[in-house]
């Protein structure tokens, strides 16, 4: 997960029948570092959702829906 200070809790839902806690969070990260050239960029290309499964929370399974941004690298080389 990204740093917790860059996450926004958008929604949570407890599905008692399926024993699932579903939490939707979005990243508020405004700047990212390119994994290839390490340049910083704030230009967001698009947003997409990742589904993460985590260890059970009490008797409930935990699913995290994480919305993150995909950034453009502005380094021309």
CB of 22 to Zn ion, least distance (A): 34
Residue 63 near residue 18, CB atoms below 8 Å? no
Would you count residue 75 as binding Zn ion (CB under 5 A)?
yes
Would you count residue 32 as binding Zn ion (CB under 5 A)?
no
DSSP 4: G
Q: Residue with structure tokens 């699932």? A: 20
Would you count residue 34 as binding Zn ion (CB under 5 A)?
yes
Of 43, 46, 49, nearest in space to 30 by CA: 43
Stretch touching Zn ion by CB under 5 A, among 7-15, 17-25, 44-52, 69-77: 69-77
Would you count residue 73 as binding Zn ion (CB under 5 A)?
yes
């Amino acid at each position: 997960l990204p740093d917790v200070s860059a996450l926004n809790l958008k929604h949570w839902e407890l599905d008692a029948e399926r024993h699932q806690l579903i939490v939707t969070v979005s990243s508020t990260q405004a700047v990212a570092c390119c994994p290839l050239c390490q340049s910083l960029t704030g230009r967001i290309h698009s947003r997409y959702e990742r589904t993460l499964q985590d260890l059970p929370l009490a008797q409930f399974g935990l699913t995290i829906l994480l919305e993150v941004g995909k950034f453009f690298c502005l380094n021309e080389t």
